[in-house]
Amino acid sequence: MGAWIRGSVLTMLTFGAFWGGAIWTWRSTGRAPSTSDLVTYLVALPLVVLAGVLLVRRVARAQPASVPAAAAAPAVAVPAAVARLPALALVDAAVRTRHGDSVDDLAAALTAHRARPDLDPELVDDAGYPVMTVRVPSAGDAAWRAEAEPWLVAQGHADVGFGDAHWRALELASAIASELADAAALAAVDDPLLRIVPLAPADWTAVQRTAAGAWLAHVATRAGWAADKVAVSPAPPGEPAAAASALLSVLAGQTDDDAALTILLAFDSRIDQAVVDRMSAEGTLFIAAHPQGLVPGEGAAGLLLAATADAAPTLQAASTTRAASADAAPRVDAADLRRLAQRVLAETAVDTFTVSALIADADHRSSRVLEAMALAHDDLPHLDAGIDVSTTGPACGQSGAVPFLAALALARRHALDGTGAVLCVGNADPVHRSVAVVRPAAATVSATVSATA
């Protein structure tokens, strides 16, 4: 109880200091704060300070025990009996987010620390105040919907029950499917099969998933693919946040047809007043009184995968399930992430010190940020936490598997530079944990070594 009281007092003092200082400054200068100022000084900076304090405390508690352990054994043993997972080539990637319609745009926003939520112009909480969301400006195109809706009706999908959020999510998915279908046509050899694996939002019905799959296949045919060369393999119903599980399924299925190309596509939208009201009723909505709540978001991210491809980064992944929800855990525990990281690094023969970046789908919640930072601090101490460690959650908000696939898309971009492997972490979900390693292509690595020799 004492620790809980101290934590509560620290939180109140931290937020009180920032809020009081910010309000005093704005009043004394007579300047009206912008939305960015409100988010930065009243929410983001206090959370960053609290996260830093908690991390320092954790390191201080762990230090005495780590010294004897290091003396007793030189390294933590990696399980010997593990199945080696086949690698996939990351041929291409695409994103549609609040902070950019390309991977380069998203990377630039993250580097500039501009990838954060904003006050929504339309959605409000129970008290009538605007809520924080991550709304994609390009979604909600009436002309696009005017084309897609009649097509679905003509194909027998008239009663799917799509609301505004469904249409927004499908519109973002369509942009990704079109872009990656074009990229697949350029990479295709010997008229291969194009497999589309859509990770639809968890609350979509089977009828809605089927309609979405039919539309995405239609998008691929408009990009020039023959209808008999496009197959849709919907992911099973349920929460798609454990995106690495879908990746492992793709890894297994891709080897059945080495010539096939696969588009793994995640899309979601929580930009809807009904969704906000439901989150508020459940007590999961991010508001000033509940800073560890969730921020409604939307977006889409996709990967173009192949069994092999010249000059393309490669991907391997593993996932597990926590024994207990991270939301209910009394303290941050990165043990599951550590075991997964050790496994995939061992299976890919990647030396820890060649990992040049860590990208997590963690959002603004301190438990998720500290978990990812603990993995970086303990297992990747050579990384600069301010430069080499980044998170996609704040840029995407609550949007299912989109932040994890966006992290993989950013990792591919990083690996194309040939500077080293990238570790991608999925820990936003309460129980699912995923780790993937994205490695530069062998030819890229050789060229980089030759250039620096």
Residue 195 has pLDDT above 80, yes or no: yes
Q: Rounded to whole angstroms, how far apart are CA atoms 265 and 302?
A: 4
Phi-psi region of 299 (alpha: psi -120 to 50; beta: other; left: phi over 0): left
| Same domain (yes/no): 276, 328 | no
Give the residue-averaged pLDDT of 2-27. Answer: 60
Give the residue-averaged pLDDT of 323-345. Answer: 90
| Same domain (yes/no): 222, 190 | yes
What are the start-end ranges of the H helices in 84-163?
103-111, 142-154
Q: What is the pLDDT of residue 6?
A: 52
Would 31 be classed as within a structural domain?
yes
| Same domain (yes/no): 216, 326 | no
Instruction: Render the burial of 345-367: b for 16+ CB within 10 Å, e for the rest.
Output: bebbebeeeebbbbbbbbbbbbb
| Same domain (yes/no): 353, 263 | no
| Same domain (yes/no): 61, 92 | no
Would 83 be classed as within a structural domain?
no
Would 176 be classed as within a structural domain?
yes
Residue 52 has pLDDT above 80, yes or no: no
Residue 52 burial class via C-beta count within 10 angstroms: exposed 0-12, middle 13-18, buried 19 and up: middle
Instruction: From 48, 72, 96, give the residue that closes a domain.
Output: 72
Residue 60 has pLDDT above 60, yes or no: no
Name the token pair of 157: 């999908």
Number of domain units in the chain = 3
| Same domain (yes/no): 424, 327 | yes
CA 243 to each of CA 303, 317, 436: distance values in angstroms, whole numbers, following the listed order:
12, 10, 10
Would 80 be classed as within a structural domain?
no
Give the residue-averaged pLDDT of 206-227. Answer: 96
Would 61 be classed as within a structural domain?
yes
Instruction: From 18, 38, 72, give the residue that closes a domain.
Output: 72
| Same domain (yes/no): 188, 322 | no
Residue 68 has pLDDT above 50, yes or no: no
User: pTM of this prediction?
Assistant: 0.80
Would 93 be classed as within a structural domain?
yes
What is the overall mean pLDDT for the chain?
83
| Same domain (yes/no): 272, 327 | no
Q: The CATH number of the domain where 234 resides is what? A: 3.40.47.10
Residue 77 has pLDDT above 70, yes or no: no
Would 353 be classed as within a structural domain?
yes
The model's pLDDT over 389-406, given as tens digits with 9 standing for 90+, comes to: 999 999 999 999 999 999
Q: Rounded to whole angstroms, how far apart are CA atoms 103 and 296?
A: 21
| Same domain (yes/no): 118, 217 | yes
| Same domain (yes/no): 372, 348 | yes
Would 77 be classed as within a structural domain?
no
Residue 15 banded pLDDT, cuts 50, 70, 90: low
* Domain hosting residue 349, numbered range: 314-452
| Same domain (yes/no): 205, 100 | yes
The fraction of the chain above a pLDDT of 70, given in percent, is 75
The model's pLDDT over 413-447, given as tens digits with 9 standing for 90+, comes to: 999 987 799 999 999 999 889 899 999 987 454 44
Name residue 92's beta-bridge partners.
304
| Same domain (yes/no): 124, 189 | yes
The model's pLDDT over 335-375, given as tens digits with 9 standing for 90+, comes to: 999 999 999 999 889 999 999 999 999 999 999 999 999 99
Q: Rounded to whole angstroms, how far apart are CA atoms 181 and 264?
A: 11
Q: Is 431 or 248 the better-scoring residue by pLDDT?
A: 431
Give the residue-averaged pLDDT of 237-242. Answer: 55
Q: What is the pLDDT of residue 81?
A: 33
CA 241 to each of CA 160, 199, 404, 425: distance values in angstroms, whole numbers, following the listed order:
23, 9, 8, 12
Instruction: From 262, 280, 306, give the residue that closes a domain.
Output: 306
DSSP, collapsed to helix, strand or coil, labels residue 413 as helix
